[in-house]
Amino acid sequence: MPSSPHTQTVQLQLEKVPERDSHGQRVMVKDSAGGLAPKLLTGFRFAGGIDQDRQYCPYGYPDCGIYVTHVYSGSPAEKAGLRVHDKILQVNGNNLAFLGHAQVAALLNRETQLSLLVHRGFQRFTTQLSDSLGSEARVSASVLL
């Protein structure tokens, strides 16, 4: 991926925390062995995946990569330095380029500690254009710098 002065690729370490209910008790879920385990939170939402139609993505990302769409305040993701519009390239050394949305979700749920390789540099530009007759149009474009 090309780099410019406005982009960077960074390695982030994220340790998930147990979800708690309104009484402060840990939320429990069934684990793969049929027992109970605490539900662990990453603190972010993402969009994308090779199986997703990017035209329906809320931010108009330029490809089918895995993009962070929300980071919860005070969450493990925020503490690790994850930002909205970060493109997640790898999780624990696993390349996400050819994975579907559900495959990425399963990968993120599998481990307690996540090592994320992310690329920063997505920008959305909007400009107002007018022709010599006074007609105006608003144009938006999304680019990964």
How confident is the model over 48-92, as pLDDT tens digits?
999 988 777 767 788 889 999 999 999 999 999 999 999 999 999
Tokens of 95: 């390349």
Q: What is the pLDDT of residue 142?
A: 47
The enclosing H or E element of 91 equals strand 87-91
| Closest alpha carbon to 85 in 39, 120, 54, 134 | 120
How confident is the model over 100-121, as pLDDT tens digits?
999 999 999 999 999 999 999 8
Q: Would you give the DSSP letter of residue 33?
A: T
Cα–Cα distance list, 90 to 73, 76, 96, 110 (Å): 23, 17, 6, 14
pLDDT band at 139 (very low <50, low <70, confident <90, very high): low
How confident is the model over 12-22, as pLDDT tens digits?
999 999 999 99
Domains of the chain: 8-144 (2.30.42.10)
Check pLDDT > 70 for residue 138: no
Q: What is the pLDDT of residue 56?
A: 72
Check pLDDT > 70 for residue 28: yes
Residue showing tokens 């809320």: 58
The enclosing H or E element of 108 equals helix 101-110
Q: What is the pLDDT of residue 136?
A: 67
Residue range 34-43: average pLDDT?
Answer: 93
Output 143 or 120, whichever has higher pLDDT: 120
Check pLDDT > 90 for residue 145: no
